[in-house]
A and B are shown apart, each in its own frame.
Chain A
C-alpha cells in the first residue's frame, strides 16, 4: 500500500478553515483515500473517504487532484473541539478495513 506523508502538527485559530495535505505518491489505481480523526484515549473516527475530485460531507471536504498523488482535508471554521490527530490513509478498495496508519497530523485549535 502507498505510504502517506503528512505534516506532524498544525496550529489554527478558532473559526478558521484548516487544510491538511497528505502526499501519497505511490497510490495505486484501486486505492481509496480515507481520513480519520482521533482524540486522546479514544479510537479513531471516520471523517471522509474519496477516490478522485471532491467529496463533501457535513463535517469536511476532501480534495483530490487528477493525479491522485496527494489529497487535502478541509475543515471549515474549526472549533476547540476539533483539536485532535488526523490520519490520512490509503486503502485498497473502498471497503478495505485492514488499515495502515501513518504518523498523523496533530491539529491544535487555539482560542
Chain B
C-alpha cells in the first residue's frame, strides 16, 4: 500500500516557540492531505484540509493563524504550530488519499512545556 510519513515522530518544545511537522506521501502524489489532532483517550478530530497550491480549509474552531498549513508540492504538507502552549500538546496525524483508501502517517506527539 501507499506510505505516508510524518516527521518528527515526537517533539518537545518550550511554550511560546513554533514547531513544524512534515507530512510526506512517499510513493504517490497527493493533491489533498488532511490534518487531525487526537488528545489522550479521545478520537481523531479533523483540523484542516491541505490543498496543494492553494489555501488550506480549516474546520470550525481551529485557528488558522495558529496552525499554519503549507502544501507546496504534491508530496509534502507541513503543519506549523505557532506560539505553542501546553494546551496544544497532542498527537497530530496527517492523511492522504490514494485510490479508494486514506493512508495515515504514524503521527507526531507534541509536548509543550
A interface residues (Cβ-Cβ under 8 A, vs B): 41-46, 49, 87, 94-95, 97-104
With A42-B106, A95-B97 given, can you name 17 additional A-B contacts, CB distance below 8 Å? A43-B4, A43-B6, A43-B95, A43-B104, A43-B105, A44-B44, A46-B1, A95-B99, A95-B100, A98-B46, A99-B95, A100-B46, A101-B43, A101-B44, A101-B45, A102-B43, A103-B43
B93–A43 contact, CB under 8 A?
yes
Give Cα A41 to B113, complex, Å: 19
Chain B contact residues: helix, strand, loop or mixed: strand
Instruction: Kindly provide the distance from the CB of B99 to the nearest chain A CB, expressed in whole angstroms.
Output: 8
Chain A residues near B44 (CB, 8 Å)?
A: 44, 99, 101
Interface residues of B in 63-113 (CB under 8 A from A): 91, 93-97, 99-107, 109
Chain A contact residues: helix, strand, loop or mixed: loop
Partner of B102, one of A42, A99, A104: A99
A42–B107 contact, CB under 8 A?
yes
A-B contacts, 29 listed (Cβ < 8 Å): A41-B91, A41-B107, A41-B109, A43-B94, A43-B104, A43-B106, A44-B44, A44-B93, A45-B104, A46-B1, A49-B101, A94-B100, A95-B97, A95-B99, A95-B100, A97-B32, A97-B34, A97-B95, A97-B97, A97-B102, A98-B34, A98-B46, A98-B49, A99-B44, A99-B46, A99-B95, A99-B102, A101-B45, A103-B43
